[in-house]
Amino acid sequence: MLTFIIKRIVSGITVLIAISCATFFLLYYSGSNIARNILGEYATPDQIVAKEHELGLDRPIIVQFGEWATRAVSGNLGISWFTSQGVAESLLTRLPVTLTLLIVAIICIATFATVIGIAAAVKRGWIDRVVQVGAVLGEAIPSFVLGIIFVTIFAINLGWFPATSSIQPGSTGSAWVLSLALPAIALVVNGLTSTAQQIRSAVIAQLEKDYVRTLRSRGIPETIVLFKHVLRSAAPAGLTVLSLHFIGMLGGVVIIEQIFALPGMGALAVQSTVLGDTPLVMGVVIYTVIIVIIVNLLVDLANGWLNPKVRVS
């Protein structure tokens, strides 16, 4: 098990390094006129040169990357070019918003999808058909479209929720709950039906296996067969889908956070990329990759825990 974890961590670090390099070089060659963007349209050529020198943009890209990487390894992600704020500080104020949103959404998806998926597999009939159709619809409607619909109905017309975030440092718990409700529901609807569909298929596949027939023939109660044996064997498929959803939602929140003006990582990613704020974009990328690596590792561990066969392979 330990070698397994170490291997995963090493490959995670490799991915992290590769993505950091790629992002840095892409930002550099995207040709944004950073100094001009910071100084605005009236800046003279002299001003631009001075600003580029101040930011170190007049040096070769290898030197710039080397300097950034050296600092990043020691935990210093630098200072945003456009907000003058420390990158780590910016990210740490925004990470809780995004993670809370994602974690709430993923818990809801996991819980409801399991219940619905099992119900569809066991009962079949109309529930099954609803899940099948729902899976197609749920995948087809992007979460940001749902977000816009929800804002119009529940925030503006009915006034039940704030239309834009009221999450800020110092805001109360209820502000968090109300602000996160609509974006979280938009994310949940999108992931719920397809996850339920996966769990349904996995459960059906298990129910057809010989060991189920054996258990049943020995007179073991149906609930124990279902929840102790079948679900445990079917869980890895569900977990994998959930982890894919989680990672997919990391992309989805980019637009969701813009719509709801949530002060999270996604909004920060958009703002900093549009401006070409290299230190901040790099920070967002690194944090996001680390989250993805951790999620994948956790899912692998959970799968191994649920199903010893995975550990061996």
User: How does DSSP classify residue 78?
Assistant: -
Least distance from another protein to the Cβ atom of residue 66, Å: 24
Least distance from another protein to the Cβ atom of residue 72, Å: 20
End-to-end CA distance of the chain: 11
Nearer CB in complex with another protein: 91/135? 91
Least distance from another protein to the Cβ atom of residue 81, Å: 8
The span from the CA of 40 to the CA of 220, in Å, is: 74
Q: Which three-class secondary structure state does DSSP give residue 231?
A: helix
Helix (H) or strand (E) holding 61, with range, is helix 61-73
The span from the CA of 266 to the CA of 274, in Å, is: 12
The span from the CA of 11 to the CA of 19, in Å, is: 12
Nearer CB in complex with another protein: 132/166? 166
Q: Which residue has the tokens 């102790």?
A: 228
Nearer CB in complex with another protein: 110/192? 110
Least distance from another protein to the Cβ atom of residue 136, Å: 27
Nearer CB in complex with another protein: 53/216? 53
Nearer CB in complex with another protein: 69/207? 207
Question: Closest Cα to residue 16, out of 81, 69, 80, 95?
Answer: 69
The span from the CA of 118 to the CA of 106, in Å, is: 18
The span from the CA of 103 to the CA of 121, in Å, is: 26
Least distance from another protein to the Cβ atom of residue 214, Å: 19
Distances (CA, A) of 193 to 59, 232, 237, 310: 51, 20, 15, 27
Nearer CB in complex with another protein: 4/69? 4
Least distance from another protein to the Cβ atom of residue 271, Å: 6
Residue type, 249: M
CB atoms within 10 A of CB 230: 25
Least distance from another protein to the Cβ atom of residue 249, Å: 14
Least distance from another protein to the Cβ atom of residue 289, Å: 20
The DSSP line for 248-312 is HHHHHHHHHHHHTT--SHHHHHHHHHHHT-HHHHHHHHHHHHHHHHHHHHHHHHHHHHH-HHHHH
Nearer CB in complex with another protein: 120/231? 231
Nearer CB in complex with another protein: 211/305? 305
